[in-house]
Structure 1
Amino acid sequence: MADLKPARCRSLSCRDVLLSPTGSTVARSGRCRLFCALVVLCSLLAAGEATALKLEVRVQGLAGEQQSNVLAQLAIYQERKDAALTEPRMQALHRLAPDQIRAALIPFGLYRVQIQDSLTRPADPAGAWIADYRVDPGAPVKITAVNYQVTGSGAGNPAFPKTFPMQVGEVLLHSRYEQAKGDLRAVASAQGYLDYQLVRHQVLVDPANNSAVVDLTLDTGPRYVFGPVTFTQDLLADDLLRRYVRFKPGDVYNPDRLVSLQSRLLGTEYFGKVEIVPHKDPTGESLVVPIEVIAERNQANKFRVGAGFATDIGPRVSMDWRRRYLNQWGHNFRSLLSLSPALSQFNFDYRIPIRDPRRDYLRINPNFTYYDTTTRSGWIGLVHFGQSIVTPGGRRRDLGIDYRYEDFTINDVETDEVNELVPNVSWAKTVADDPLYTSKGYRLKYTILGSVGGLISPTSYVSGVLDFKGIRRLSSKYRLIVRSDLGATWAGSLDDLPASRRFYAGGDQSIRGWGYDTLGPNDPITDETIGGRFLAVGSLELERQLKGNWSAAVFTDFGNAFDPEYALEYEQSLGLQVAWRSPIGQVRLAVAFALTKDQGPSNWGLPPARLHFIIGPDL
């Protein structure tokens, strides 16, 4: 028998139960106090005993939740492994056990429980005592009548159930009765009946006849509505704050909507403390409840310094500065400096809240990037002006225009400088039960961008990209992870595209087994990778949980970047991965074998291999 969590909430659900005079007498609270006093007395008498006993407790005749609740409340079972257990205390606990078993079964409507109990001394002094309880739960009490009524001004409100959830003929389950009462209270509160009362709420049980009568009357009282919302704070304009309020004066008063308002305001990080104060008329003459929001500003600045490592870009250090607010209109910004040998970046993201200020904003986003990979090097200066909103379907849509300057070199052969004006739009959506360690979810983003030759840009092109990653748990220990990256660019030739607008493959998030951006069309003269106008990369991964936070996976990555003007090459890798689930996401170490790469010398006849180290969330 497994040890169980102490779930004493079941026995608490009996507080409305009354026993009819025809049934056996049960003095609930008095008996409980007597039980506790006997246990304490026995404990004091046994304090001087030093010999620990071995005890085995058996409860037979029950199963499922009934047995779980009995074991949770059976003191002799809970203390069976106590090193201080002595024979006098054990005998005292054994005498209490039948009443504890009966009390634990009452929430299941079992009032005529028969118990055969025995406490057997071991034949061998080193053996174990046996406490045996054979339980015959008997027939459960059933509901023979339900007297249910809603009175007051809300008597006709359809939000209240027309009939009580427990019906005649059903077994009396006290957990269902308490749940039904709680649901009625929740409906009354959500419908604005702040003064509701349970005028009658009791269950009359006749154990002799296995019958019960449910008697419940709820009086709603008057219905309240929201009044005007005022703000007590010294940071933001009231017009901005009112956009966080999702109700208006005259709407039915619902406390849950106030909790949501508090959550929304705290989620902005403008405020460190938010208190919602409803000013209900204590005389009851007015049914309008004005709302006061009292908020204290948060610290303006937030700084963070970090370090990391990934096989694609090597060691990395980062510095992050976030300014939570700049003025009364809620403007804010975030700046990030990230330095690594292969990719360094400075990003400044200035945001202006619009529409729904929780999630919609205008962006001014200067960005400077320096890259130095195996296939290309250079730097990009970019200024993005755009709008970012969440659509009714839950997708984030970014619409904007970029001015870009790129100075690049491809494999020390092709060098150029490009100025571009690039309109762009993207849609993205992430759905996950847990973004750090996902059992069911996906991430989808698709982007369209381009330029018009002669309008600052030297050439014209249109490019579309689709990125997808999906995760599905197959069983308690297995997950299937799929990933796909597709891209296509329509341009006169590959030479019309700067390095950052070409597609490459290879690396931690692409085709493992190759270095970062080392795959793609090769120049037929130099045999160097020069990128392509199309991309098709996929991945399949099957993961199995090993023990605790550790898991292992087998995967295959495949595809490539390609271009119609150059030879098409298909690449594939096969690999193994171990991962540890950390508070910031999975820490993954993978070895990938490049199946389609030139074999070369190998110690064991295996394809060339590459290690990949990745830290981060699943989606």
Structure 2
Amino acid sequence: MMAFAAIDYFFKAPGLHRCFPMIQAWLLLILLSWQGQAVADTRYSVDIDAPSAVEDLLEKHMEIMRWLDNPRMNNAEWHRLLQAAPRNIEDLLATEGYFSPEIKQQLETSREGENVRHRATFTIVPGNPVTVDIVDIRFTGDVTQQDAGAEPAPDKLIEGWPLKRDMRFSQDAWASAKRSLLRGLMLQRYPNARITSSKAEIDAASNKARLRVEIDSGAPFRFGGLEVNGLQRYPRSLVENMNPIKPGETYSQARLLFFQSLLQASGYFGNVEVTSHTEDADPEAAPIVVTVTELQSVQVGVGVGASTNTGARTTLSYQDLNLFNRGWRFTNTLKIEQKAQSLNSLVRLPTDKNGYRDSFNADLNRIDIEGQTISTLGSGVKRAWGPRSFEQTIGAAYLLEHLAIDGSDSENNYAATVSYGITLRRTDNELNPTRGYLLNALFTSAPLDVMATGKFLQSYVKTQIYYPLTRRTQLITRFEGGIVSGANNAPATYLFRAGGDQSVRGYAYQSLGVADGDAVIGGRYLATGSIEIIQWLTESWGAAAFVDFGNAANSTRDLKPVYGYGLGARFKSPAGPIGIDIARGQETGEYRLHFNLGVTF
């Protein structure tokens, strides 16, 4: 009060009030600071002495712990929190299944000059946890009258109940078990299922819990018609033709998510949501509701990068997602690399009502590798169908090729080809697989002499297998093979060379093949493989050791494998695995850096 009286006197002094307004303000701040320092400092602290199983829980969630750093803490609030602390501890321990704890509270107050220290120590013996004794799960509704063998089966849901007898009871486990039971009905056939009654009876004397749940399945649902919201540029048929769900099909959340993934992967939409309205809907015809946000139809991109195969790269791209206002996707890409240049144009038509995905393309390419320069002009059409797990393609293409080999005369080749391909994907995760396999086979033929330099058939297969040896140790094996049968004058584009990031690491890109003077050219036979072990050090980071082998040649007699081996680092990114490897080619004795992104299937 004396400080504020002094300030008041200072402000009333006529001369100073007129001459030193800034001094008045600074003096006010200094005096206020001094006045605050004159107040005694009071500190509060809490110690918890409890088993580690519950100590973290109490430190994070006790009300008194959250108040310690609150500037409004005072003696009155401190005593209120101390009085409420035992009940607060009991409630928190009960969530973890401890219903008979022993709680001791010790208070200390000390002074250091003007400073006061308040300290509370809680010693807690949680006692024995409650365990599950009896589980009583009852179903009502149409699920009790469904045909034998129909899914979801009540017996299987009860068998899958996660909180079983003699397991420790906790509120989190209890709530999770009920959600799991309800989800088993809601995800398939019974989207309106609900828990009508649930009770956990705790006998503190025996530390036993008796659990009872009653769940009403409601009526079984089937899908009906399609409602589409958000379309402005694209025709409704674009969404309708990608819909894999037929009217009358049994309700399944997995089918809705699959439909959503197809739309999301189509490239037309920035956001997609697929749901089904089941509230107040006809159980025999629940509408499927699709809500989309369209991407901008015209997109231009510029990119720079580098590849350990073909060197530094600059990319220019133009994309029109609504060519001719028909929902056709037109992509034009110019890529300039140190060893390869290309101009590619691709038009992809929307999926039609039969599930076919048609496209046609025109390409201009030039690649200069190991003394061989291949320049091509090509065009083609392709039809694909089937899900990603089992995708098939047929196509037809025409190729003009100019081939130049260092030290040899150049030559021109041409071929009209037809092709058939199949891709199988059976993995637990499409972007970062840990178990399963991938298989791709492609057969390309030039069947007519009059439309090719010579008839030939190219057969190519590649497979990759993932297998977890332990929870953190993963085995990856790869095999690649190819044969060109028929005329020896097949275009060089259809012959095989090996080496590089996705082939035999430790060797330069396409440096393995048939020697022709100082150049390396393609051969009629290809065989490469890899054995790799990854030890995951964390959930995202791992170390790899690998051995690659293989070669390309013009005959099976000359197809002698060379070996490369090395070490690498792995990272599970949202776009797929990223790998950086150092590999040594046994044949050359050279070390090479290799970089990989994603799963190339």
The alignment's TM-score, normalised by the length of structure 2, stands at 0.73
Q: What's the offset of the Cα at 1:307?
A: 1.1
SS in 2 for 1:518: coil
What are the superposed Cα offsets for residues 157-210 of structure 1, whole Å, 9 maximum, x if unpaired?
Answer: 474636965788887554454345434544564576677665543344454565
What does 1:13-412 correspond to in 2, within 5 Å? 50=41, 57-60=48-51, 63=53, 69-70=57-58, 72-74=60-62, 97-116=85-104, 131=121, 133-138=123-128, 140=130, 143=133, 146=136, 149-152=138-141, 155-157=144-146, 159=152, 161=154, 173-183=170-180, 185-186=182-183, 189=186, 198-207=195-204, 214=211, 216-219=213-216, 226-231=223-228, 233=231, 235-239=233-237, 241-250=239-248, 261=259, 264-271=262-269, 289-290=286-287, 297-326=294-323, 330-354=327-351, 360-390=356-386, 394-412=389-407
Alignment-derived partner of residue 534 in structure 1: 525
Tell me the amino acid that sits aligned with residue 296 of structure 2: Q
Alignment-derived partner of residue 502 in structure 2: 509
Q: 1:347 to 1:52 in 2, by over 3 A?
A: farther
Alignment-derived partner of residue 481 in structure 2: 486
Q: In 2, are the aligned partners of 1:114 and 1:138 still within 8 Å (CA)?
A: no
What does 1:440-519 correspond to in 2, within 5 Å? 440=435, 442-452=437-447, 454-472=449-467, 474=469, 479-493=474-488, 496-519=489-512
Q: 1:543 to 1:157 in 2, by over 3 A?
A: closer
Alignment-derived partner of residue 20 in structure 1: none
Q: In 2, are the aligned partners of 1:301 and 1:323 still within 8 Å (CA)?
A: yes
Q: In 2, are the aligned partners of 1:58 and 1:130 still within 8 Å (CA)?
A: no
CA distance in 2, matches of 1:152, 1:458: 71
CA distance in 2, matches of 1:323, 1:240: 15
SS in 2 for 1:178: helix
Alignment-derived partner of residue 35 in structure 2: none
CA distance in 1, matches of 2:197, 2:562: 75
Q: In 1, are the aligned partners of 2:143 and 2:154 still within 8 Å (CA)?
A: no
Q: In 1, are the aligned partners of 2:200 and 2:209 still within 8 Å (CA)?
A: yes
CA distance in 1, matches of 2:556, 2:216: 80
What are the superposed Cα offsets for residues 184-240 of structure 1, whole Å, 9 maximum, x if unpaired?
Answer: 544564576677665543344454565665555445566665544344645555555
Gaps spanning 5+ residues in structure 1: where?
A: 1-47, 598-606
What are the superposed Cα offsets for residues 61-93 of structure 1, whole Å, 9 maximum, x if unpaired?
Answer: x74xx666455434567789x698999788876
Q: In 2, are the aligned partners of 1:309 and 1:316 still within 8 Å (CA)?
A: yes
Tell me the amino acid that sits aligned with residue 492 of structure 2: A
Are 1:611 and 2:589 counterparts? no
CA distance in 1, matches of 2:169, 2:339: 69
Q: In 1, are the aligned partners of 2:464 and 2:477 still within 8 Å (CA)?
A: yes
Q: 1:279 to 1:580 in 2, by over 3 A?
A: closer
Give the superposed CA RMSD: 4.7
CA distance in 2, matches of 1:574, 1:189: 51
CA distance in 2, matches of 1:249, 1:581: 39
Are 1:425 and 2:425 counterparts? no
Q: What's the offset of the Cα at 1:314?
A: 1.5
Are 1:521 and 2:511 counterparts? no
Q: 1:182 to 1:375 in 2, by over 3 A?
A: same
What are the superposed Cα offsets for residues 263-311 of structure 1, whole Å, 9 maximum, x if unpaired?
Answer: 54444343456677877796x9998655565656442123322111123
Alignment-derived partner of residue 15 in structure 1: none
What are the superposed Cα offsets for residues 73-124 of structure 1, whole Å, 9 maximum, x if unpaired?
Answer: 34567789x69899978887676554344223323544233345557899x9
Q: What's the offset of the Cα at 1:417?
A: 0.7
Q: 1:96 to 1:294 in 2, by over 3 A?
A: closer
Q: 1:253 to 1:92 in 2, by over 3 A?
A: same
CA distance in 2, matches of 1:243, 1:506: 42
What are the superposed Cα offsets for residues 105-155 of structure 1, whole Å, 9 maximum, x if unpaired?
Answer: 323544233345557899x99x99894634142362655684x65445555
SS in 1 for 2:323: coil
Q: 1:479 to 1:77 in 2, by over 3 A?
A: farther
Paired-residue identity, %: 22
Number of aligned residues: 549
Q: What's the offset of the Cα at 1:380?
A: 0.9
Alignment-derived partner of residue 557 in structure 1: 548
What are the superposed Cα offsets for residues 430-472 of structure 1, whole Å, 9 maximum, x if unpaired?
Answer: 4555566554455432222232352311222222222334455
CA distance in 2, matches of 1:253, 1:565: 55
Q: What's the offset of the Cα at 1:379?
A: 0.8
Tell me the amino acid that sits aligned with residue 387 of structure 1: R
Q: What's the offset of the Cα at 1:409?
A: 1.2
CA distance in 2, matches of 1:83, 1:71: 16
CA distance in 2, matches of 1:99, 1:527: 86
Tell me the amino acid that sits aligned with residue 379 of structure 2: V
Q: 1:502 to 1:98 in 2, by over 3 A?
A: same
SS in 2 for 1:522: strand
Q: In 2, are the aligned partners of 1:445 and 1:467 still within 8 Å (CA)?
A: yes
Tell me the amino acid that sits aligned with residue 105 of structure 1: L
SS in 2 for 1:325: strand
SS in 2 for 1:182: helix
Q: 1:253 to 1:434 in 2, by over 3 A?
A: closer
Gaps spanning 5+ residues in structure 2: where?
A: 1-38
Q: 1:205 to 1:331 in 2, by over 3 A?
A: same
Q: What's the offset of the Cα at 1:541?
A: 4.0
Q: In 2, are the aligned partners of 1:406 and 1:418 still within 8 Å (CA)?
A: yes
Tell me the amino acid that sits aligned with residue 562 of structure 1: A
The alignment's TM-score, normalised by the length of structure 1, stands at 0.72
SS in 2 for 1:324: strand
CA distance in 1, matches of 2:135, 2:242: 48
CA distance in 1, matches of 2:385, 2:512: 35
